Amino acid sequence: MVRRDITEKFERIEHIRDKLILRQADLLDLLSIIRLIEEANPDEIYNLASQSFVPTSWAQPILSADFNAIGVTKMLEAVRLVNKKIRFYQASSSEMFGKVHDVPQNELTPFNPRTLYGAAKVYGHFVTVNYRETYDIFAVSGILYNHESPRRGFEFVTRKITNGVARIKYGLDDKIVLGNLSAERDWGFAGDYVEAMWLMLQQETPQDYVIATGVPHSVRNFCEIAFQRVGLDMHKYIVSDQKFFRQADAYRLLGNPSKAFTSLGWYAKTSFENLVLTMVDADCERIKKQLK
């Protein structure tokens, strides 16, 4: 499902476009969602749509709430009205834990969001629970921690690093400006996490799951591996600027994926190092092609 746009941007899926059927609808327009579900008649729906960049949620708070909270309600209401047998996946987020009560966090850890993005995701999460319990819809939420890949947006710190490293390697830039290098995240590979989403909808009973690696790594760790890949000393190129520091950096978001392992047989197969190397290699290859 894609929104109509004046300039359609499908570069991230060009390599599989011939395998996809793209249909237009809008997360904020219930009628368009109902019509799409009636036409497509799906067995499963994965709601991965959101305004997903945390800083933007402060700049556009109403729009972010419309997408990340009310939009979930409209998707679920469309399922209820058209076909309650559809299995529904909601993309929840570790940002819902916010100022954490426990480390690591599991499915029973109380939510305590400290961003507008996290607060809207909490709404979407509990709306999913309520539709499941009230209307007997197979609706689940995956509480996913940071998941990355070569298709990550350039505004996110991981891609900012790997793209920056590639640009420095080929002489296009001479520095990368980052925030708190000591900030830690539970980073995993998006491909592994999508497998977990699919597994959740194949179970006999709908349940919510924390999807994470359970291992923290700092921004500095990420930079070290990235620069080592291209044979450069990170200390010559990294600048830390206070304006990029986030309040959330003080909170230790670390997931406990034991329930996913026990119930789904799922675990993060891609190591942190291989994730970083894959992203660096992809950006180096992309820039190399652009320079030819």
Is the CB of residue 161 less than 8 Å from the CB of residue 227? no
Choice among 46, 52, 57, 95 that is catalytic: 95
- CA neighbor of 99 nearest in space, from 122, 78, 79, 82: 122
Q: CA-CA distance, 65 to 10, in Å (whole number)? A: 25
Active site residue 95: yes
- CA neighbor of 254 nearest in space, from 101, 135, 117: 101
Is the CB of residue 23 less than 8 Å from the CB of residue 35? no
Active site residue 240: no
Active site residue 93: yes
Q: CA-CA distance, 75 to 225, in Å (whole number)? A: 40
Choice among 89, 117, 193, 209 that is catalytic: 117
- Give the number of other Cβ atoms within 10 Å of residue 151's Cβ: 12
- CA neighbor of 211 nearest in space, from 261, 148, 130, 143: 143
Choice among 52, 57, 93, 94 that is catalytic: 93
Q: Which of the residues are catalytic?
A: 93, 95, 117
